[in-house]
Amino acid sequence: MGNAVASKLFDLAGKKIFVAGDRGMVGGAITRALAARGITAMVASRAELDLERQEQVEAWFSAHRPQVVFLAAAHVGGIHANNIFPRDFLYKNLMIEANVIDAAHRAGVEKLLFLGSSCIYPKFADQPIREEALLEGALEPTNEWYAIAKIAGIKLAQSYRRQFNADFISLMPTNLYGRGDNYHPEHSHVIAALMRRFHEAKLVQAQEVVVWGTGTPRREFLFVEDLAEAALHVIEHYSDALHLNCGTGEDISIGELAALVAQVVGYKGKLAFDTTKPDGTPRKLLDVSRLHALGWRAKTPLREGLSAAYADFLAGGGRNR
Ligand code: GDP
């Protein structure tokens, strides 16, 4: 049954752990996963530490001396936000990762995990996408600003490994959803956007809800609590230059996803596809065999994860509610 779990190379127990970006969806989930193991992560609010400012990051690391860093801080957003705020997606992410990775090295951090995204891969990469597809072709233009920054982050982590033997690794999750998501009507990712739109449509008994694009693109969706488990697993079981993919190994069309989100929310009206909105890349399914070989698999089925995400939405969770 399944794969044998790889042997542990590094133990998080007893370490001083900094989660950069704990206010975000990913950093929040990692902080909770650590807490479930009895570990209280070190965190820093934006007011206390602006990760875009090098002098602040260096001062924070020399004062607090973490031994492990989860670099989950990033400027993120959906297909539309990427298109209209290119400078923010490129500059902010470059600064955050350069500042944190270099300060971690200077402060003697023992292990660092850099989190990226599956949009680093070429627009027309062979599916499912293997880690080796990186830089084999042109990027999807709607999110190339973010992708270029995340590719630079992977390379930066690799460069410290090569030049200083630093144990810095990278994990590339597929599209994420769950607790703490951003529900902005336009700047969010597809699941949060649809959940909110269907919810509001249900309340006013609207006849029709608009879904962007043709409904035919295929995407893979990972529940953020599963990603957090993967992050803890790889930091303890992996040490190499190559970045690792993280996903469920299954994808679904946007049309099918929309129908599923409508069901979970209890919206019974029609769906209309607005084809003036961009589809983005046609398909984005990760090959997760490397992570499976390390003994980790996603646990949460999509419908179950969507129900949990909707419960969190109803409870007032997430940003831009
Ligand atoms: P992507 O994976 O980088 O393209 O991220 P998104 O989550 O923003 O979009 C995924 C797919 O869902 C794209 O094909 C979008 O056109 C489609 N989509 C459908 N409705 C929406 C919506 O309301 N918001 C967003 N962000 N995407 C939508």
* CA dist., res. 273 & res. 101, Å (int): 42
* Residue of 82, 212, 275 best suited for mutating to test ligand 1, as the one with most atoms within 8 Å of CB: 212
Per-residue pLDDT tens for 152-172?
999 999 999 999 999 999 999
CA 231 vs. chain centroid, Å, equals 11
What is residue 320's predicted lDDT score, i.e. its pLDDT?
A: 79
Dig out the tokens for 130 from the structure: 């293997």
What is residue 1's predicted lDDT score, i.e. its pLDDT?
A: 44
Q: Using H for helix, E for strand and C for coil, what is the string for 248-297?
A: CCCCEEHHHHHHHHHHHHCCCCEEEEECCCCCCCCEECECCHHHHHCCCC
**Percent of the chain at pLDDT above 70?**
98
CA of residue 212 to ligand 1 center, whole Å: 7
* CA dist., res. 22 & res. 34, Å (int): 12
* CA dist., res. 197 & res. 165, Å (int): 48
Question: Between β-strands 168-173 and 175-177, what pairing exists: parallel, antiparallel or unpaired?
Answer: unpaired
CA of residue 283 to ligand 1 center, whole Å: 12
**pLDDT of residue 5 exceeding 80:** no
Q: Which residues line ligand 1 (CB under 6 A)?
A: 78-80, 119, 143, 175, 188-190, 193-194, 211-213, 217, 219, 254, 277-280, 284
Which phi and psi (to 5°) does residue 80 adopt?
Answer: -75, -45
Average pLDDT over residues 190-214: 97
pTM listed for this prediction: 0.96
Atom of ligand 1 nearest to the CA of 277: 16
Per-residue pLDDT tens for 77-132?
888 888 899 999 999 999 999 999 999 999 999 999 999 999 999 999 999 999 99
Average pLDDT over residues 245-257: 98
* CA dist., res. 217 & res. 227, Å (int): 23
Strands, E assignment, the chain: 17-20, 68-71, 111-115, 168-173, 175-177, 208-212, 218-219, 221-223, 244-246, 252-253, 270-274, 283-284
**pLDDT of residue 4 exceeding 80:** no
Per-residue pLDDT tens for 261-312?
999 999 999 999 999 999 999 999 999 999 999 999 999 999 999 999 999 9
In terms of CATH architecture, what is 17-180+221-250+285-300?
3-Layer(aba) Sandwich (3.40)
Residue 209 — very low, low, confident or very high, per pLDDT cuts 50/70/90?
Answer: very high
Average pLDDT over residues 239-264: 98
Dig out the tokens for 313 from the structure: 């939405």
